[in-house]
Amino acid sequence: MRTLIIDLRDVGGKPHPEDYVLLQAPALRGSADFTGAVIMTAPVHVDLTDGKAEIQVEPGPLLVQIRTKSVRGSAPFEVVVPEGTGPVALRTCMERSFQYRPSVESAVAADADRAYAAWQGAITAERAAEVAAKKAEAAVENATAAVQPTPPATATVQGKIQLAGDLTGTAAEPKVITAGDVDFSIHHDAPRAAFVKTRADGQIAITTPSITKPAHATNKDYVDKADNKLRLEKADKEHTHQLRDIQGLPPVASTFLTPGQSSLMIRSDTGHADASDPVTATHIANKGYVDTKIKEVNRRLDVPEEDMVRWDDGGIVFSRIGAMVWAVVGAAAAGVKGTLPPKFRPPHRDVDFFLTSPEKRSAPGWCTITKEGVVSVNFSDPAAKTGYGMGMYIRDFAID
């Protein structure tokens, strides 16, 4: 598709808001841009804004009719939208097609228009005659050059045909080629150029010994033998193999894969197969290996001493595990217990968790860890003397 740029103005250089243009194909034709599409002759109404418009059109002949105040009753005129890409102006298409002149109504001007059209037609006819004359002259020269005398069918030329032109397409000199064998076949004899006659049923025979190169014509016998050979060498779709036929495998299959040895694993009658403990990440893991790893995860995590804080003879213990801190309070009395190191402190806000008191369970207590690391124990009733509880919070894991 090409972008057709339209720009219309009157002789005073002014456009008109009610101007528009009708575009249509002069005849049905195939689309140049859409495979299989047909361009119809229905007109397309193009409104102009300040005398200008842009529209996508197919390359090829295009009928244009201008409907403006400047040119009333304009007859359609034909232009050709050139092939290619990018925008093209309507003015450019008009200048390539003809010298545009608005229609006039005076009889004198109309006669001038008809005379101009007749003159253009005469020039076109004269040029067409010149082209036809040149083509006829060339045809006569070609025919004269192609005429060559043919020798009589004497004994010296029996069985030969003299052509009036070279088979390669040049007529510099005729070639003499031996006629076909009478038995319509190509034999494996001395190389020679020859025509081969077909039999009455259109068949040509080619003997197998003459098929020696990939480009040679072949026969049915050659193809059938090659096809049968391929069928005999090809295994059936469903077939079995012995282990000894498979390279790199032991002579017998086993339900157990031995480390370091290639084998073909099969399942037992119960549907099981054994494998050694895996070594690399891509090895198959057996049940024993998986169970062992699960037990390791379920075991109590050993916390290094440097990741633990103990106060009140173990009555309060803080354990740092990754990004979490576990706090265990056992038989702790009320009061401030101490200040935690930075790596144990909560990063954003104070942390509280409840405590129970055996002296008075209806009077709960609480343990507070401030952002500054100060730890204190408090009770809601003086009758509660000691508290028990456990809590967990996220530490500032940016500090190690």
- Evaluate if residue 281 carries a pLDDT over 70: yes
Please give the Cα distance from 169 to 164 (Å, whole number): 11
pLDDT tens digits for 139-196? 777 766 665 555 554 544 444 444 444 444 444 444 444 444 445 566 555 555 666 6
Angle CA 248–250–256, to nearest 5: 120
Q: Percent of the chain, pLDDT > 90?
A: 24
Average confidence (pLDDT) over 26-50: 88
Are 95 and 125 in contact by the 8 Å Cβ rule? The answer is no
Q: What is the mean pLDDT of the chain?
A: 77
* AA identity, residue 239: H
User: Measuring CA to CA, which residue among 88, 71, 59 is closest to residue 22?
Assistant: 71
The torsion region of residue 233 among left (phi > 0), alpha (psi -120 to 50) and beta comes to alpha
The pLDDT assigned to 305 comes to 84
Give CATH for domain 2-97. 2.60.40
Average confidence (pLDDT) over 193-210: 69
Per-residue pLDDT band at 75 (split at 50, 70, 90): confident
The pLDDT assigned to 197 comes to 66
CA-CA-CA-CA torsion sign (283, 287, 292, 298): positive
- Evaluate if residue 63 carries a pLDDT over 80: yes
pLDDT tens digits for 76-97? 889 999 988 889 999 998 888 7
Residue predicted with more confidence, 286 or 388 = 388
Most confident of 34-38, 214-218, 302-306, 347-351: 347-351
User: Measuring CA to CA, which residue among 68, 90, 88 is closest to residue 79?
Assistant: 90
Fold match flag (2-97 vs 305-394):
yes
User: Measuring CA to CA, which residue among 42, 12, 17, 14 is closest to residue 28?
Assistant: 42
Please give the Cα distance from 24 to 129 (Å, whole number): 32
CA-CA-CA-CA torsion sign (43, 47, 53, 56): negative
Residue predicted with more confidence, 208 or 33 = 33
* Domain extents in the chain: 2-97, 242-299, 305-394
| Best CATH choice for the domain 305-394 from the list 2.60.40.1830, 1.20.1440.230, 3.30.160.20, 3.30.70.240 | 2.60.40.1830
Which two tokens mark 241?
């193999």
The pLDDT assigned to 346 comes to 94
pLDDT tens digits for 297-306? 655 556 788 8
pTM above 0.85, yes or no: no
Average confidence (pLDDT) over 268-284: 81
Per-residue pLDDT band at 256 (split at 50, 70, 90): low
